[in-house]
Structure 1
């Protein structure tokens, strides 16, 4: 039987319509404006989005555009290691909820897992701030 990884699901309420938030997040060029914990800069190269992360360059690719608000994405490091990041935007009255799950993968110490979750929390707060201006 496969192991279940420890996880932390974080969320933020945003006072903007879900479809607007979905489109903003889905536009990869916006990542440096709100996701500083992951993306310092971004550029397109050979049809891929290359981001500069705290650990060096990586690529990011989102799932196909969909009507369910799913924004799952895969971050691939130069080493080839891929990390799936589950993310979703859900309507909540006149606004929305953005949720993102972080998993503690094998070999990741508890402190690093806590740091990752803290960075995601900070990024989600930045997203809220940018979109509610």
Structure 2
């Protein structure tokens, strides 16, 4: 069994119904509108998703549509390397919380982890602004 990775949970409250947020955020084609961490050029090729990121061109596997608010995805920056990205939409009052768990990857220093956390915060704020302005 491998050692657990240090993790940080980052969330944002969105004043929109949980289903509306899930319906929007669950579509991989919408990720470029708010998830800059996935980089640019998100495209589907032969049933698989790819994006151009700071790590280079990566393959991304998104969760299947579900009724639990699960938006987990997996990023594959190189053969044999899988980065798990847990992401949830959770009902909270008349709105919802979007909760992202950021795992500190092996070899990542404190500054890189802090920068990644800030990037996630910006992306979640972008999602909030986008959906609350609709």
C-alpha distance in structure 1 between counterparts of 2:33 and 2:41, whole Å: 9
User: When the two structures are superposed, what TM-score results if normalisation uses the length of structure 2?
Assistant: 0.93
Q: 1:100 maps to what in 2?
A: 100
- TM-score (normalizing by structure 1): 0.93
| Contact kept in structure 2, 1:59 and 1:76, CA below 8 Å | yes
**Distance in 1 of aligned mates of 2:57 and 2:2:** 30
Q: Which residue of 1 aligns with 2:37?
A: 37
What secondary structure is seen at the aligned counterpart in 2 of 1:91?
A: strand
Stretches of structure 2 that go unaligned for 5 or more consecutive residues are none
Residues 60-114 of structure 1: per-residue CA shift (max 9 Å, x gap): 1122211111111101114442100011000111110000001112211111111
RMSD: 1.3
The residue correspondences of 1:38-77 to structure 2 (distance < 5 A) are: 38-77=38-77
Is the 1:31–1:39 contact (alpha carbons within 8 Å) kept by the matching residues of 2? Answer: no
Runs of 4+ in 1 over 3 A off after TM superposition: none
Report the counterpart of residue 125 of structure 1 in structure 2. 125
- 8 Å CA contact 1:74–1:82 kept in 2: the answer is yes
Q: Number of paired residues?
A: 133
